[in-house]
Amino acid sequence: MKKLLPYFIAGIVLLLLALVIVQSKKNRHVFDDHVTFNKADKIPYGTYIAYNNLHHLFPSASILVNTKQPGLWNSFMDDSDGQALIVVSPSFRADEFEMKKLISFVKNGNTAFVSAAIISYDVQNMLRCDAPDAYSVSDIMTLNSNSDSFSVSLTKPPFTITQEYGCPGVRFESYFSKYDSATTTVFGNGAYILPNFIQLRAGKGAIYFHLTPLSFSNYFLLYDKNISYYDKTLSVIPKNTKRIVWDEYFLHKKYFNYNAGSGRSNSMISVLMKNPSFRAALWVLIALILAFVLQEMRRKQRIIPEMVKPGNDSLD
């Protein structure tokens, strides 16, 4: 059995490699559900389209990218007007200091547009609103609805018509369960017609919070006629805006890995284990090795040599 073991292992390894190669050729066009919100990513849940279409919506504005904390901005002036900051991220974990700087920026005659499914306690406290954790929302909604799709809509007024925009795929969103109606205007809804898009005025400007960031993903915008949702949603930013700033500071702050939070893993083993052929071959290999080990553990009986009766030499 020992002599055969190397041949068994070599055969299984070759079989595994062959299966992986064949399967990889079959799955070249597998849907990539990795969520990045990265402006450079053309994968379904990147934001390449949302970022690159900004110059079509605002042809007269300069487009900049910010990676600095509020108060340390060097790509634009927080005391100037006619600017807009756009944040698209799974979470917006601004602290009190950052929110004060952001509100000060808005008061000077600027616009802040934030789309994130999770907003920090400091943000909710300063805006006097409540927004449940996005994962809790998903758990509740999957009880009575399809968890592999989501929809959004804009309200009338301020928009001219009320239209729903839907898309299959993962759901990652929240809603405002509480807000100050004296200072807040609802601009849109998510699942169950719950408010997910609000406006708050501050000084000469306005700040918008939107809780369905996947509606700015490549996949959503390319699905059906959803690009019109993008156009209408960002139309809240004044047309005469001189400078559009795409923010990446909050996208990477205390990096929030949506894929890890949802139970996804991107390790080499986890990727290979998604391949049914590889998984089956691996179990066969494990079974063969286990059988060999058990076989070798069995106690081997040795033949007891025949004992020759000793002679009585004294009689000789």
Does this model's pTM top 0.85? Answer: no
Please give the Cα distance from 64 to 41 (Å, whole number): 17
The arithmetic mean of pLDDT across residues 188-210, rounded, is 96
pLDDT computed for residue 143 by the predictor: 39
Same domain, 112 and 238: yes
* Preceding peptide of 157 cis, ω within 30°: yes
Q: How many domains does the chain have?
A: 2
pLDDT of residue 73: 83
Q: What is the pLDDT of residues 68-87, one digit of tens each?
A: 999 888 767 767 899 999 99
Indicate if 122 and 220 belong to the same structural domain: yes
The pLDDT assigned to 300 comes to: 55
Is 42 inside a domain boundary? no
22 in the same domain as 69:
no
242 in Cβ contact with 60 (< 8 Å) = yes
Q: Does the residue 21 lie in any domain?
A: yes
167 shares a domain with 94: yes
Residue 32 inside a domain? The answer is: no
Q: Give the pLDDT score at 277.
A: 64
Q: Does 291 lie in the same domain as 191?
A: no
CA distance 64 to 4: 65
In a domain, 142, yes or no: yes
Q: Which domain holds residue 280?
A: 5-27+275-297
Share above pLDDT 70 across residues of the chain, in percent, rounded to a whole number:
70
Closest CA to 37 of 29, 45, 28: 45
Please provide the average confidence, as pLDDT, over all residues in the chain: 83
Q: Give 314 or 186, the one with higher predicted confidence.
A: 186
Assess if residue 313 is contained within a domain.
no
* Main-chain dihedrals φ then ψ at residue 261, nearest 5 degrees: -65, -30
Contact 83, 110 (CB under 8 A): yes
pLDDT of res. 266: 47
Kindly state whether residues 223 and 284 are assigned to the same domain.
no
Q: Is residue 199 part of a domain?
A: yes
Q: Are 154 and 16 contained in the same domain?
A: no
Based on the fold, state whether residues 19 and 115 are members of the same structural domain: no
Residue 19 lies in a domain: yes
In a domain, 39, yes or no: no
Residues 19 and 99 in one domain: no
CATH value at residue 250: 3.40.50
Residue at 113: amino acid letter = F
- Same-domain pairing of 16 and 162: no
Angle formed by the axes of helices 276-297 and 5-26, to 10°?
Answer: 170
Q: Tell me, yes or no, whether 19 and 128 share the same domain.
A: no
Q: Are residues 167 and 293 in the same domain?
A: no
Q: What is the pLDDT of residues 34-43, one digit of tens each?
A: 899 999 999 9
CB–CB of 188/155 below 8 Å? Answer: yes
CA atoms of 49 and 46, how far apart (whole Å): 8
Cα separations in angstroms, 114 against 94, 125, 149, 187? 11, 16, 22, 13
